[in-house]
Amino acid sequence: MALINYLTQIQFAEGAVGLLAQELAALGIERPLVVTDKGVRQAGLLDKALASLAEKTAGIFDETPGNPTEAAVRAAAAAYLESGADGIVAIGGGSAIDLAKGVAIAATHDGPLKDYAVIAGGAARITARTAPVVAVPTTAGTGSEVGRGAIIILDDGRKVGLLSPYLIPRRAICDPDLTVTLPAGLTAATGMDALSHCVETYLSAAYNPPADGIALEGLRLGYGAIVRATESPQDRAARRDMMAASMMGAMAFQKGLGCVHSLSHALGGLNPKLHHGTLNAIFLPAVLAFNRGADSVSADGKFARLAAVMGLPGEDAVIPAFAALSARLGLPTGLSQLGVGPDMFDAVADGALKDHTHQTNPREASRQDYLDMLRASE
């Protein structure tokens, strides 16, 4: 079993979920509110995760929507306060973990969530009062179990980031066995989310060599495992490597993301039913084509390094490889397949310009650049 200390303490192994009670005790959490969703509960994963707790919880909130909303945060925060909880256990995909982070703020800080959004200068308002979170991911995609951020759709429809070191879960329990029953479509879509994290954070112009190394190794693992995990769900080695890729992408994206995520966040805010990982997969080729012209990308030979870790013959093969991968995985390869047409492009471009990940793209994107990327992704 690997015990990893990077931004937080991570238990990573098959069967690691059995350590949940131990990790809660180490943090002094006696009455955790469990935040999850109905799908995780129906799949039996919640019972498996909670087996070691002997029902010692403050309650279970299983109303997490597909994309976490401010309304759901309020409801869960009310449950947290009414139950006298002293911590949160998030069990599920990125939505449940991000919702738990929103609750960790809302239950301990005054005012609406918009006051704590990055774009409102809210990061400095998030303090050490934040409720402790222990995260147990059941998908291999967002890596939110080791990340310092959460993405929440506000009451006004904006999809915003909440970022703070105080939002990093105090413990993460990464058990690849919990992902074995994940349907193929979700395995593929969440997996592409993980790969997009690794690629975007590596291409970001910020200077962070450790993050670059983690991102490249995460990409190597994920690119080599995603097809096997999708097509052969019982392949334990593939599931392990995908969970590692997801974790590593989130470890690294403290460096910053880019236009793939600014577009996905903007479109996801307009239509919360769209899956974030699927959108990332669709936007990745067009954004890579745009970013290939960035000075920092070309000067550092970054596309050649991407090609090397992906086992491709050269940098010209990188963009076609990602497009082909989405098709192989059975994911939509264009926005039109999701019912998204040009009538939405202006609103998406406007939202992308305001997103916090827009600022860390390696090449500054204008409104017209975003419109061009959207057209290229039709």
| Residue 244 φ/ψ, nearest 5 degrees | -65, -40
* Domain range enclosing 325: 183-375
Q: Which tokens in the block code for residue 112?
A: 């609406």
Is the domain of 117 the same as that of 226? no
What whole-number distance in Å separates Cα of residue 53 and Cα of residue 24?
Answer: 9
If you count them, how many residues does the chain have? 378
What's the pLDDT band for 346 if we cut at 50, 70, 90? very high
The pair of three-digit structure tokens given for residue 282, joined into one six-digit string: 């669709």
Picking from 137, 299, 325, 305, the residue whose alpha carbon sits closest to that of residue 224 is 325
Alpha carbons 341 and 339: distance in angstroms, whole number = 6
Where does a domain end: 176, 191, 217?
176
Domain boundary among 176, 207, 230: 176
**Which pTM does this prediction carry?**
0.93
For the chain, what is the total number of helices (H) and then of strands (E)? 15, 9
68 and 208, same structural domain? no
Residue 326 lies in a domain: yes
Query: For residue 12, what are the β-bridge partners?
Result: 2, 174
Q: Report the CATH number that the domain containing residue 252 is assigned in CATH.
A: 1.20.1090.10
pLDDT on residue 6: 66
Residue 1's pLDDT is 55
Helix, strand, or coil (residue 102): helix
Domain shared by 126 and 225, yes or no: no
pLDDT at 297 (0 to 100) = 92
Quick one: CA torsion of 331, 335, 340, 343, rounded to 10 degrees? 180
Domain closes at, from 176, 195, 228: 176
Most confident of 65-69, 116-120, 134-138: 134-138
In a domain, 51, yes or no: yes
- pLDDT over 70 percentage in the chain: 98
How far are the Cα atoms of 23, 137, 202, 272 from residue 226, in angstroms, in the given order? Answer: 30, 17, 19, 25
Angle at 169 between CA 39 and CA 174, to 5 degrees: 55
Q: Give the bridge partners for 2, in sequence order.
A: 12
Assess whether 188 and 309 both reside in one domain.
yes
Does residue 120 register a pLDDT over 70? yes
Which tokens in the block code for residue 349? 């471009």
- d(Cα 334, Cα 75) in Å, to the nearest integer? 35
Residue 289 in tokens: 């084509």
Residues 6+ apart with CB under 8 A from 43: 138, 181
Sign of the CA dihedral with 37 first, then 40, 42, and 45 last? negative
Residue 60: CATH number of its domain: 3.40.50.1970
Q: What are phi and psi of 313, to 5 degrees?
A: -70, -20
- What pLDDT digit, counting tens, does each position of 29-48 carry? 999 999 999 999 999 999 98
The tally of CA atoms less than 13 A away on the side-chain side of residue 159 is 27
What's the pLDDT score for residue 157?
86
- The four Cα atoms 95, 7, 134, 166 give a dihedral, to 10 degrees, of -80
| Structural domain includes residue 1 | no
Are 158 and 278 part of one and the same domain?
no
In tens, the pLDDT along 83-114 reads 999 999 999 999 999 999 999 999 999 999 99
